[in-house]
Structure 1
Amino acid sequence: MTEPRPHGSARPGGRTARTRAAVLAAAQEELSTQDYASLTVDLLAQRSGVHAATIRRRWRTVEGVITDLLSEHGTSAIPIPDTGDLRGDLHVMAGNIAGFHASPGNRRLVEGMVAAAAREPGAAQVLRETFAGRLRQVSVLLERAVAREEVPPDTDTVEVIAALGAPFYYRLLISRRPLDAELVRTSAESAYLAATHGVFRRAEGAGEATPGEADGGQRRER
């Protein structure tokens, strides 16, 4: 059996959908002005106009609201470039990642989700699935590069994108330093040079990652 979706993450219609939209919008607005640690159910109730008891009944906690917000928006707002050249694509993509996290609300959403994932299994599942899905989407950059014979045909396309993004999340979550132009340049160049020199070639006999493997093998078997 698969793990259930986090509480509050269903997508109903009518009045319930309006309630959900109001609370998620309130959370996003609050994150644009203050840190995740300052969020409370009462603040969300005040901004959204939804009674605090309703929020607690549906999402239980602030972590539940943040989990639902990430599952709704994730990092899909980061555009995927198509410059016709892998080096160009990786540099533009790195710039887009930095630009996305330049928004305080986006940065705090990721910070809040990582904090929530440390406490709630449902939040951890959403975090894994969101980032694994996004890696698969962006790996189209490498699939195009394989077709243009810029990288070996057995390149692990998902791992190249993971390597491109990893320095940003280290800087964002661990060292707490700015995501500057030099980070954009070095991340893109490192991923490009490694990919074109065959660093990310799959081991002999290894195939494409299954959806469960792509998110760290955390899914339960059906």
Structure 2
Amino acid sequence: AIFLHSVILASTLKGFQPDMVAGHSLGEFSALVANGALSFEEGLSLVFKRAMAMQKACELQSSTMAAIIGLEDSQVEKVCEEIDEIVVAANYNSPGQIVISGSIPGIDAAVERLTALGAKRALKLPVGGAFHSPLMEPARAELEEAIRAAKIGTPVCPVYQNVNALPNSDPESIKTNLVAQLTAPVRWTQSVKQMLADGATSFTEVGPGKVLQGLIKKVDRNIPTESA
């Protein structure tokens, strides 16, 4: 539904000519349709296959995620590394806001330790899986063939991809990063910082709500943002 909303909204905008695009997790597929690299039909097919593959992976092992607010990224990463379970940083949403992902025992242990370390909030999220973690490896393996076979062309502007927060206009490299995204963290904070460093002067959120605008403002409160 979010993919459909974002893509349809982008298609109705008059004079929509972004200089660069980025999307958070699933939103990366919407961004690739918006910049012309991916057709709507191809994007919809990949999003459906991605959802099915991730659901299967979730059913293989009980897992979850938790939001951690008020600590440095390095503090969260260190705690995750020290736990003898699968638990990793999954979403770098904004400075001081990170989501971790992993096995239920691993997340429980991390929440306890991060709370003791001084996190303002350390809350388990109502999700059914450890997205953007090694536990999504079955989904990554299943989706890779579909992504490799997809028709992805040269975009009209670069996409800043989640896995490395760098601009990309090469179709094969875009595919590689889409595959890697299933088990790698969403580097949203780093992406916004890189876009600003590369000359972004304003951001337009094309989709439901204003969540991304809020995250961008936490990176740079003076940068103009708007909803499409």
TM-score, normalised to structure 1, is: 0.28
More helix by share: 1
Q: Indicate the structure (1 or 2) with the bigger Cα radius of gyration.
A: 1
More strand by share: 2
